[in-house]
């Protein structure tokens, strides 16, 4: 589905990250993403970071041409979007631990809101942490980790996850974040016999499983993912 939506509100999440809120009637599941067309620049994938009836949002970290251009958009401007795409998280397990690393926190936030599950939010430093207010409101327990120790646990998301798994068991871990974080989350879950669902990223073009741009082995990240189980 292709649509034009109007930006209703912009929230400054961090020095390099903004949330764009808009009304959109589409049905979206936590973990799904949309393609955003930025005229003259590119069309890029963005996780849906907020799902509240007809109001949705995306949370964008400015890292390159398209995302920096998107940061120049103002309230009232229009966005061309396609989607939603991808499978999203399976939230049928009730007892889950959710982990968001860096801007990957945006992809897991609707799952935090919907489940109220225990949550870890991790970032390099305090100034890179995003969406703590929403997580504090909805998560049963919120634990924070920073690589430099400027807030919360001094260490990375996976180290904190391992600490928490000593105290409590979960049916499944749900995570999105930098690939290195997901890799070590996967390794730890393998060792511990722990189920997990990990949301992966690749460059994408069509978003709908046709172009093959985001293939990883025999899987299309856009269509077969972006959320994958440990298997």
Ligand X SMILES: Cc1cc2nc3c(=O)[nH]c(=O)nc-3n(C[C@H](O)[C@H](O)[C@H](O)COP(=O)(O)OP(=O)(O)OC[C@H]3O[C@@H](n4cnc5c(N)ncnc54)[C@H](O)[C@@H]3O)c2cc1C
> Given the rule CB under 6 A, which residues bind ligand X?
33, 42, 44-47, 49, 59-61, 63-67, 103, 106-107, 201-204, 226
How far is Cα 176 from Cα 32, in angstroms, rounded to an integer? 12
Written as six digits, the tokens of 218 are 């025999």
Nearer to ligand X, 58 or 164 (CB): 58
Q: How far is the CB of 78 from ligand X (least distance, A)?
A: 19
Q: How far is the CB of 32 from ligand X (least distance, A)?
A: 9
Nearer to ligand X, 107 or 120 (CB): 107
What b/e sequence results for 143-153 when a residue is b if at least 16 CB atoms lie within 10 Å of its CB, and e otherwise?
Answer: bbbbeeeebbb
Asked whether 112 and 119 are in contact (CB, 8 A), the reply is yes
Asked whether the CA dihedral 25, 130, 142, 156 is positive or negative, the reply is positive
Nearer to ligand X, 64 or 149 (CB): 64
Q: How far is the CB of 81 from ligand X (least distance, A)?
A: 13
Query: CA Rg, the chain, in Å?
Result: 17
Nearer to ligand X, 5 or 46 (CB): 46
Q: How far is the CB of 196 from ligand X (least distance, A)?
A: 17
Q: How far is the CB of 103 from ligand X (least distance, A)?
A: 4
Cβ neighbours of residue 76 closer than 8 Å, sequence gap 6 or more: 6, 7
Nearer to ligand X, 163 or 224 (CB): 224
How far is Cα 142 from Cα 137, in angstroms, rounded to an integer? 9
Residue nearest ligand X, Cβ-based: 64
């Amino acid at each position: 589905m292709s649509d034009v939506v109007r930006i209703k509100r912009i929230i400054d999440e961090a020095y390099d990250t903004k949330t764009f809120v808009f009304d959109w009637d589409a049905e979206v599941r936590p973990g799904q993403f949309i393609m955003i067309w930025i005229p003259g620049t590119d069309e890029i994938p963005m996780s849906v970071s907020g799902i509240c009836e007809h109001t949705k949002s995306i949370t964008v970290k400015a890292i390159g041409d398209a995302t920096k251009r998107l940061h120049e958009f103002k309230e009232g401007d229009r966005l061309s979007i396609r989607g939603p795409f991808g499978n999203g998280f399976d939230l049928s397990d009730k007892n889950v631990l959710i982990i968001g690393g860096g801007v990957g926190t945006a992809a897991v936030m609707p799952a935090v809101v919907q489940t109220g599950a225990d949550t870890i939010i991790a970032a390099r430093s305090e100034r890179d942490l995003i969406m703590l207010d929403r997580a504090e409101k909805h998560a049963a327990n919120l634990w924070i980790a920073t690589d430099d120790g400027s807030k919360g646990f001094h260490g990375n998301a996976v180290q904190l996850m391992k600490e928490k798994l000593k105290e409590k068991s979960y049916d499944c871990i749900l995570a999105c974040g930098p690939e290195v974080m997901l890799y070590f989350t996967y390794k730890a879950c393998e060792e511990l016999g722990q189920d997990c669902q990990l949301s992966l990223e690749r460059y994408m073009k069509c978003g709908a499983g046709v172009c093959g741009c985001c293939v990883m082995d025999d899987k299309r990240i856009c269509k077969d993912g972006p959320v994958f189980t440990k298997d």
